[in-house]
Amino acid sequence: MDWSDFTLYISTTILATFFGASAAFYLERQTKKQENKQVSLASANRSLFILSRQFGILNQFRNQVINPVRDDPGAWINMPAVLPKTHDDLRYDIGSLQFLFESEEPNLLTELLMEEDRFFEAMKTINERSKKHYNELQPKVAALGIKEGTYCTTVELEKALGSDLIGSMKTLTKALTEHVDEGINGLKAIHEKLIWTFRKLFPNERILKVKFPEKSA
């Protein structure tokens, strides 16, 4: 037997085994990479869906509750109370959005969380004002026999309801309006950044785009 042929046979077998293993490893790595990409893409679209829900809630509240009395000096009493809601299901899954740290906007996740905080601060203020409206303002108004449509001067109201309650209602109404307006503007701004970043990270993939109304109703 020619030992040179045997050596060549062994070498060829080893090379074939090595390249076969390398190809399998590369294929497995590419498959895993594609799977991770799809998971991140799903997380990206889920975050945009949550953003759209947050915007819809704030925008509907602004259109139906704030805007009808926005320029009314008596908005503190005329703005209706609403049933309390927490919307805890509208929080972002931070762990699934870690890939944003590797994007061209590494601070984007932090900015998104700031908008999340702004949304929940708006909801907290809405609930706090509604609670005070239901539990303190309405019983006092009812006890005084003040009916809807009754005209009262500021002096008369302060004397009847108390300056502390009126001051608290005015402060909450002003804070509520500012939180909602700022929340809507902030969500619009962060949406544009997210869309731009997601399209860079996931070219040729379908990205959910939120359609904002051109102006409030």
CA dihedral (13, 14, 16, 21) positive or negative:
positive
Distance of alpha carbon 123 from alpha carbon 57, whole angstroms: 9
Mean pLDDT over residues 26-48, rounded? Answer: 75
Instruction: For residue 191, give its domain range.
Output: 3-201
The answer as to whether 208 is a domain residue is no
Q: What is the mean pLDDT of residues 122-146?
A: 91
- The count of structural domains within the chain is 1
Instruction: List the one residue out of 178, 153, 181, 179 whose CA is nearest residue 77.
Output: 153
Q: Which of residues 171 and 23 earns the better pLDDT score?
A: 171
Residue 31, pLDDT score: 52
Block residue for tokens 């998104």: 112
Query: Rounded to an integer, what distance in angstroms lies between the CA atom of residue 107 and that of residue 191?
Result: 14
Q: Tell me, what's the pLDDT at 5?
A: 56
Q: Residue 68: is its pLDDT beyond 60?
A: yes
Q: Are 55 and 210 in contact, with CB atoms under 8 Å apart?
A: yes
> Which range (70-79, 98-107, 153-162, 176-185) has the least confidence?
153-162
- Residue 11's pLDDT band, with cuts at 50, 70 and 90, is low
Total residue count of the chain as it appears in this document: 217
| Residues 6+ away with beta carbon under 8 Å from 67 | 216, 217
Which pTM value belongs to this model? 0.81
Domain presence at residue 217: no
Pick the closest to residue 194 from 52, 33, 36 (CA basis).
52
pLDDT (tens digit, 9 = 90+) per residue, 140-187?
888 877 766 666 666 777 778 888 999 999 999 999 999 999 999 999
Owner of token pair 């998971």 = 39
